[in-house]
Amino acid sequence: MRPVEGRVSLRGSEGEISVRVWPNEAPARLIVLAHGYGEHIGRYEHVAAALVERGAAVYGPDHLGHGESDGERVLIADFDHIVADLQAVVEVAREQHPRLQVVVVAHSMGGLIGALYAQRHGDELAGLVLSAPSIGLAPVLAPVLVQLPEGTELPDEPIDPTVLSRDPSVGEAYANDPLVWHGGWKRVTLEAFLAANEAVDAGAGFGELPVLYIHGELDQLVPMAVAQPAAHRLKGAAFAEEIVSRGDRVRSEARDLQRAREGSDDRPGGGLRGAGHGDLARRAPTCASRARRSLRCGACEPS
């Protein structure tokens, strides 16, 4: 079946999952996007366009309870179901492009999903990009839930759009988007966040899987001081890091990897896995940084 731009529907773990497809006439790789909490894959339109421009065919689901997918809004009882849904999307992408390798690009809550996915299916991936992943949060979430009596819901405090980006238009678009969740957190979802974080903490590292970790020093939604140690604990032999500071200065392990692997394979269409650390350093940061500039969120471009 030839992929057509638009949406397809998959039978997910708890209902229909809406998947956005951005095809490429001659793709060199497959990218599967995983979006963040309360938003939807439509907010990544320009991110996908940048990736398609650089040779990727891109797929991205609206997670359960998000966007155009089934489920009570932002209600996630078990992240294992979301990981299973992501696997279904990867399988569809592979069916349509059986010769291409898959890279998962995951942001915020999507980064938590991506980390869980990589711990279970990392040998099936060519690479993983974690943008401000919601990992390392167990010590933060556990006290919050302990302080609330069983069955008590959390205060109705939605995400403040002004902390999403230094570009006011990003927050304005978020606030006016009818597919974005504008309410507060649900206790069941927060409990699932805690359980998923504990599972990541107890799980194995990424081993030989090439991983690019990106974070902004001033991120107010997922503080770098919380997520970065978790990312470092998981990192394996092919780990690259980009930290965006206040003045857009980037400290990158990827540059060191590139210097160390100048002779690695960089043929068109070559995958990340098996291509050498230098290939990851050259290709993944370039691709991800273009997407990061397009997204312009608080996690990726702090003010």
- Per domain, the residue ranges of the chain are 6-295
Q: Which residue's structure tokens are 């909490």?
A: 37
How far does CA 162 lie from the centroid of its chain? 21
By CB atoms closer than 10 A (0-12, 13-18, 19+), residue 263 is exposed
Q: Spelled out in words, what is the top-level CATH class assigned to the domain 6-295?
A: alpha beta
φ, ψ of residue 209 in degrees (nearest 5): -65, 125
pTM metric for this prediction: 0.83
- The angle that helices 187-202 and 79-96 make with each other, rounded to 10 degrees, is 70
pLDDT in tens, the chain (303 residues): 445 568 899 999 999 999 999 999 999 999 999 999 999 999 999 999 999 999 999 999 999 999 999 999 999 999 999 999 999 999 999 999 999 999 999 999 999 999 999 999 999 999 999 999 999 999 999 998 888 877 777 777 888 888 888 788 989 999 999 999 999 999 999 999 999 999 999 999 999 999 999 999 989 899 999 999 999 999 999 999 999 886 554 444 444 444 433 433 332 233 345 433 333 333 443 444 333 333 333 333 333
H or E element in which residue 83 lies: helix 79-96
Q: What 3-state class would DSSP assign to 214?
A: strand
Task: Report how far residue 293's alpha carbon sits from residue 281's, in angstroms, rounded to the nearest whole number.
Answer: 18
